[in-house]
Structure 1
Amino acid sequence: MRFIHTADWQLGKPFGGFDAETRNALTEARFDAIDAVGKAAAAHNAQHVLVAGDVFDTEGPDERTIVQALARMERYACKWWLLPGNHDFARNGGLWDRVRKRAGGRVAVLASHDPVEMEDGVWLLPAPLLHRHMVDDPTAAWDDMETPGARLRIGLAHGSIRDFGTSGEAPNLIAPDRARRARLDYLALGDWHGHLGVDDRTWYSGTPETDRFQRDEPGHCLQVELAEGAAPRVTPVRTGRYQWLARSWTVSDAAGFRAECDRLLGDCTPSDTLLRLNLAGLVPLADRVSMIGHIEDDLRHLLRHLEIRDGDLVARPSEDDLAALDAEGMLGRAAAILKERAEAGGSESALARRALERLFVEIARQGA
């Protein structure tokens, strides 16, 4: 038995805070990820795709989002099993009734807790979320759930495993040993956006297209192979296009900054990379100007998106700046002492010089 495990498509995600061109690209990439999952199913001869919740970003997507999603799925010969998650939970007269009306025979909506025989002797136990936040474990009923003639039992759920630091207080909690308790051959989970093995039979697939700066890796789905009495064989398959990178660089000059840029660009596909960059350091004024120019004239145009935080990148004062340092009261007295010690030489001279530079920066900030 082979199938693809995926989750957290979140179709219709608005991507607020980005420019219109980037929003459109990220929106389209989420639909393209459906094609990537379908192609993975075909390449691995998988007849089923299990989507473990959050197919849509909200319980009220526009009609175009639904139509586009179903049209992409219908391109492939596999069967798509869609589970409501916390973003697109099931309710009467809601989203999933709209999906059913438009879906063809290759798409099945799992809006109830009733087990489904996917193939002869292969039972799927779904745990759809009926509310955004559920207090009880949505998979608890599986322990006593009957699946006549089962040779394989597969669980499909959306939520958090209890030992992820939640101390039992987060909603939609799932017991970490549910696969053992419910005699499952595999438990396909959604909600965690990176692929993760909880144990040999319990896996999060992650999102097929990354949508945040929390992790470097692109999106994946999981190709799963099951056999009676054997542990699952789970293989991650890349499906995502974009990488969302977060970097923090402490630099001392423009040359060091350009070297970091070259390393970054050499390790990624720039046009498919979103970067959040924190810059820190004390650099000569001319170097700071050069660095900002490189960011605005080159780096920003090479990347899909660039977010810069440079509040801690400050220009080192010149000798004339320090000589003209003029502050009143205690700050003025501190500056005079530091100047005297810096000029005196000795073991404390270098430290006094750095402290004087820092004082200059802070006084300049207050003045600004």
Structure 2
Amino acid sequence: MRFLHTADWHIGKKLHGYDLLEEQVDAFQQILAIAKEEKVDAIVVSGDLYDRSVPSVEAIEVFNRMIVEMNLKERFPVLAISGNHDSSIRLETGGPWFAQSDFHLNTRLDQAFEPVEIGNTQFFLLPYFEPISARLYFDNEEIRTIEQAIKEVIKEIEKQFKSDMAHVLVSHFFVAGSEKSDSETKLMVGGLDTVPLSLLKSFDYVALGHLHGKNALKAENARYSGSPLKFSLSEMNQKKGVWIVDTEAGETTFRFEEIIPLRDVKQIEGSFKELTAQEFYESIDRESYFHIQLTDRAVIPNMMNQLRQIYPRIIGIERLFGRDVQHKESKSKKETKALAPTELVDQFFSEVTGEELTVQQQTWIKDNLAALHQAERGK
């Protein structure tokens, strides 16, 4: 059979405050188009359907429309699990009747031991879980880490293997040897959430979620699909997409199909004059999300507002070389102590933003500092 492997949709996620729902819908439409073009027999989503355990109403509406289109209209069987960003309890609502339309959504550990069989393949849907879940399920107080838990889980799963079928594990963990990017939640504490790759050797394919880059792990039988979108600057050079997996004639093969982002994440470098020159900004896609590296040393009045007029989606500005000497050099402790409170705020604001306080902002600061001073005297 042939299936599509995707993960880490993070519906409702924002990029430095920018809403990504439009981009997420566009990415989904591309995923659906690939599924139809490749004539897949199922779509696998390896966790983190939402970005938050309590998603916004808008995020829920978008996800519901996706499932309706994918599962009910196009009739693709959907095999999904909850990830560490999802609320397994909330996702579980409706699960018993979802399966009636071939939408299999596993949110509990015990569900992983009941395979979903499609064609020549058994799918074991193992949602994200904490070690305590395995400790309680197996009644084994010695289970304290994910590695210990996964050992017992896989032993139990292997009891369900049919020798004449391919075996696919769908899971959402950090596998040893993988590489993280900035947008993934750093759950690891002393290696507690690490799953050794060797434990996964009995599966023909392991459809992983959790890490956002497709090259985070390069194993013969295991891959992360990566997220459909770039969620941080560290993912700027990553190719996003899905895996198309075939399990035929005792051999499993997979290949990557790329997704083109509606709006890309990019980094540009130059002086303020260069970046605001018409011949430059008209040569690039200004609708992208930009991290800007400025080479200017001098303070530029109203810099951010001027740049936003040209680049409406700025996710960060970095001063490569600082500002000129009078603004660049930090004041000594003695000089800093000698500054009035309003001057300290002005210095801090300038160093952080690269701009000067407006007259209105200075008035607000003076009024608030005066109120605080009055309150202190009244104590």
Q: CA deviation at 1:204?
A: 0.5
**Which residue pairs with 2:83 in the alignment?**
85
Give the distance between the partners of 1:63 and 1:7, measured in 2 at CA. Answer: 21
**Which residue pairs with 1:337 in the alignment?**
none
**Which residue pairs with 1:277 in the alignment?**
292
SS in 1 for 2:112: coil
SS in 2 for 1:232: strand
TM-score by length of structure 2 reads: 0.66
Q: Do the aligned residues in 2 keep the contact of 1:37 with 1:239 (CA within 8 Å)?
A: no
Spell out, residue by residue over 1:265-311, the C-alpha distance to the aligned partner (whole angstroms, 9 max, x if none). 75x6331x1111232455xx6xx759x87x75467534533522337
Q: CA deviation at 1:145?
A: 3.2
Change (3 A) 1:277 1:179: same
TM-score by length of structure 1 reads: 0.68
Give the distance between the partners of 2:178 and 2:132, measured in 1 at CA. Answer: 17
Spell out, residue by residue over 1:119-173, the C-alpha distance to the aligned partner (whole angstroms, 9 max, x if none). 2331012211234998323643224332224421111110111234799824432
**Which residue pairs with 1:198 in the alignment?**
218
Give the distance between the partners of 1:314 and 1:62, measured in 2 at CA. Answer: 41
Spell out, residue by residue over 1:313-350, the C-alpha distance to the aligned partner (whole angstroms, 9 max, x if none). 42489xxxxxxxxxxxxxxxxxxxxxxxxxxxxxxxxx
Give the alignment of 1:252-267 within 5 angstroms.
Answer: 262=280, 266=283
**Which residue pairs with 1:117 in the alignment?**
116
**Which residue pairs with 2:341 in the alignment?**
none
Change (3 A) 1:110 1:229: same
**Which residue pairs with 2:323 in the alignment?**
314
Change (3 A) 1:229 1:148: closer
Q: CA deviation at 1:85?
A: 1.0
- State the number of aligned residues: 302
**Partner letter of residue 142 of structure 1?**
I
Change (3 A) 1:270 1:258: closer
Give the distance between the partners of 2:30 and 2:119, measured in 1 at CA. Answer: 28
Query: Which structure is higher in RCO with an 8 Å CA cutoff and minimum separation 6?
Result: 2
Spell out, residue by residue over 1:193-239, the C-alpha distance to the aligned partner (whole angstroms, 9 max, x if none). 11124212110000112222211135322222232333413223215
Change (3 A) 1:101 1:69: farther
Q: Does 1:179 align with 2:200?
A: yes
Give the distance between the partners of 2:49 and 2:221, measured in 1 at CA. Answer: 23
The answer for unaligned runs of 5 or more in structure 2 is 134-144, 180-186, 327-350, 358-379
Change (3 A) 1:68 1:123: same
**Which residue pairs with 1:233 in the alignment?**
254
Give the alignment of 1:1-368 within 5 angstroms.
Answer: 1-13=1-13, 15=14, 17-18=16-17, 22-23=18-19, 26-62=20-56, 64-75=58-69, 76-91=74-89, 94-98=90-94, 105-111=101-107, 112-131=111-130, 135-137=145-147, 139-140=150-151, 141-143=153-155, 144-164=158-178, 169-180=190-201, 182=202, 184-196=203-215, 197-216=217-236, 217=238, 219-238=240-259, 240-246=261-267, 249=269, 262=280, 266=283, 269-271=285-287, 273-280=288-295, 282=297, 296-297=305-306, 300-310=309-319, 312-315=321-324
SS in 2 for 1:125: strand
Q: Do the aligned residues in 1 keep the contact of 2:44 with 2:79 (CA within 8 Å)?
A: yes
Give the distance between the partners of 2:22 and 2:122, measured in 1 at CA. Answer: 34
SS in 2 for 1:276: strand
Spell out, residue by residue over 1:41-72, the C-alpha distance to the aligned partner (whole angstroms, 9 max, x if none). 10111121111111112233245533431322
SS in 1 for 2:26: helix
SS in 2 for 1:223: strand
Change (3 A) 1:176 1:58: same
Give the distance between the partners of 2:188 and 2:61, measured in 1 at CA. Answer: 40
Q: Give the CA RMSD over aligned residues.
A: 3.9
Spell out, residue by residue over 1:9-36, the C-alpha distance to the aligned partner (whole angstroms, 9 max, x if none). 11122x2752xxx42xx12322333222
Give the distance between the partners of 1:238 and 1:133, measured in 2 at CA. Answer: 38
Spell out, residue by residue over 1:233-266, the C-alpha distance to the aligned partner (whole angstroms, 9 max, x if none). 322321532322345x4x6x6676679x94x875
The answer for unaligned runs of 5 or more in structure 1 is 318-361
Percent of pairs identical after alignment? 16
Q: Do the aligned residues in 1 keep the contact of 2:166 with 2:250 (CA within 8 Å)?
A: no
